[in-house]
Structure formats: structure tokens, C-alpha cells
Amino acid sequence: MTFQVDVILSQVGHFALTSDGWTANNGSKFIVITLHTFFQNNLLSLSLSLPQISFQSAAALASSVRGTLESHNLHMDRVSAMTTDGAANMLALCNDLQLVRSPCVAHLVQLFLKKVLSVRDFDRFPRVLS
């Protein structure tokens, strides 16, 4: 399977990445790295790796991203942008890799809803729909 993926990836130009990190209940830390590109006029999304990492620092994450790309013979100059949540380590990751960062809208909506649903006094919010 890896061979087929690498053959496809050798035929694409630029691509975007998405990444998210989290800590499991047992304390293990992980990061997922997903590639998005167009191949034969179709959107192609491939989860390239889900490594367990020892630290969630920007340097450790950058090393994981670089290692993942290198394992698929992909070069950083082909990455057009990276979508991440707004965590400080993810912002620093994109900065360290010198990538354009796109904020993850799903994470923004989740943070907004968490804030709204934590408010007990809904009369403080303006009535949008009447």
C-alpha cells in the first residue's frame, strides 16, 4: 500500500497538510499528519502518519512532520499551507516550518460553542432571529 501511495504522491505537485495533536487517557501523545491534494481531478486526502510522540513542543512536532514527509520522498517546498488548531505549539510549528497556516474552522466553531453553552444568562446575547 505504501508503494502505491508513494507512486501517486510522486505525480502530484503542491499539496496542503492538516495536523492535530492530542493526549490519550493513558498520557500517550500523538499527532496525525494528513496530506490533501488533487489527483486526476479528484480531491485526495491521505493520512500519512499517526506517530506517538514524546513531546508536543513545536520542535518535536516539526521533526515529526519533516520525518513523515521525508519517508514519502516529499519536500517541504511542495507544501502550500498547513491547517491546524490555534494551540500555541501548532502556531509555532507552522512558524518553525515556515509554512502558511490556515486556522481549522471546526476547532473555531467548537471553541465558540463551548463558550456560548457555558453561559447561563442567554439574555446577554442579542436576538438574531426573532
Please tell me whether residue 53 adopts helix, strand or coil conformation. Answer: strand
Q: Supply φ then ψ for residue 15, to 5 degrees.
A: -150, 165
pLDDT (tens digit, 9 = 90+) per residue, 65-74? Answer: 999 999 999 9
The pLDDT, as a whole number, for residue 120 is 64
Q: What is the pLDDT of residues 8-65, one digit of tens each?
A: 888 899 999 999 888 899 999 898 999 999 999 999 999 999 988 887 889 989 999 9
Q: What is the Cβ-side half-sphere exposure of residue 92, based on CA atoms within 13 angstroms?
A: 10
Sign of CA dihedral 117, 120, 126, 127: positive
Closest among 35, 33, 36 to 65, alpha carbons compared: 33
Could you tell me the pLDDT band of residue 121, with boundaries at 50, 70 and 90?
A: low
As a whole number, mean pLDDT of residues 82-103 equals 94
With bands split at pLDDT 50, 70 and 90, how would you rate the model's confidence at 7?
confident
Q: At what angle do helices 88-96 and 58-71 cross, to 10 degrees?
A: 50
Q: What CATH class does 2-120 carry?
A: alpha beta
Domain positions in the chain are 2-120
